[in-house]
Chains A and B, each alone.
Chain A
Amino acid sequence: DTEVTQTPKHLVMGMTNKKSLKCEQHMGHRAMYWYKQKAKKPPELMFVYSYEKLSINESVPSRFSPECPNSSLLNLHLHALQPEDSALYLCASSQVGSLAGSTDTQYFGPGTRLTVL
């Protein structure tokens, strides 16, 4: 099974709201990723967690706050977002992150489509 699940599927929020995106995998993967994808563009890497530790933060604004409570779960906490943050947010996982010298396949979830009003 190569399934990554994400909730919610759709989210609409105001600029003053606080919300969270959730991602879960049960493949025993130890690396998890958040990507942001704008329309007609490839995904852009935001964060990488390796063995539940944040290993890459691609200069993402602090209004995005990732959390990895355990090896199966990854959250993205959102606060004071801007309309330009509206996008598809994708979670992915792999057995071992590329920081460990691995080229393991990344498996993606279905995404959360976020709209910021």
Chain B
Amino acid sequence: GNSVTQMEGPVTLSEEAFLTINCTYTATGYPSLFWYVQYPGEGLQLLLKATKADDKGSNKGFEATYRKETTSFHLEKGSVQVSDSAVYFCALLNSGNTPLVFGKGTRLSVIA
């Protein structure tokens, strides 16, 4: 079946530090991959996505590359800000009769 594994955290970084949140997946075929972000007390916002191998999704300084050979979609940002503090969910969507599959989420805290 389809599954997503991401580092659970919490991750605590100082402002301007480099961020990596690991995400690996298991799926048949060619799924689309997503990162969603959830700020405290809010719903999920789409952060970025990639729909095929070697695609790079990017938004607000965040990037992730769809690596089929390593079945990974790691999230990176070169310099985090306090405002990036949130929970980040990696997710997978495969075609056919399958729902959106989420990782367990990684809580990021950025301190000034």
Contact = CB atoms under 8 A, between A and B. Distances in A.
Interface of A: 2, 6, 40-43, 45, 48, 56, 58, 88, 90, 92, 98-99, 101-103, 105-111, 113
Interface size class of B (residues with CB under 8 A): 20 to 34
Contacts of A58: 99
Contact of B36 (A6, A108, A109, A111): A108
Please report whether the interface of chain B is mostly helix, strand, loop or mixed according to DSSP. loop
A32 to B, nearest CB: 13
Interface of B: 31-32, 34, 36, 41-46, 49, 51, 89, 93-100, 102-105, 107
Nearest to A108: B44
A42 B44 CA distance: 10
Nearest to A106: B100
A42 B89 contact: yes
B111 to A, nearest CB: 20
Contacts of A41: 104-105
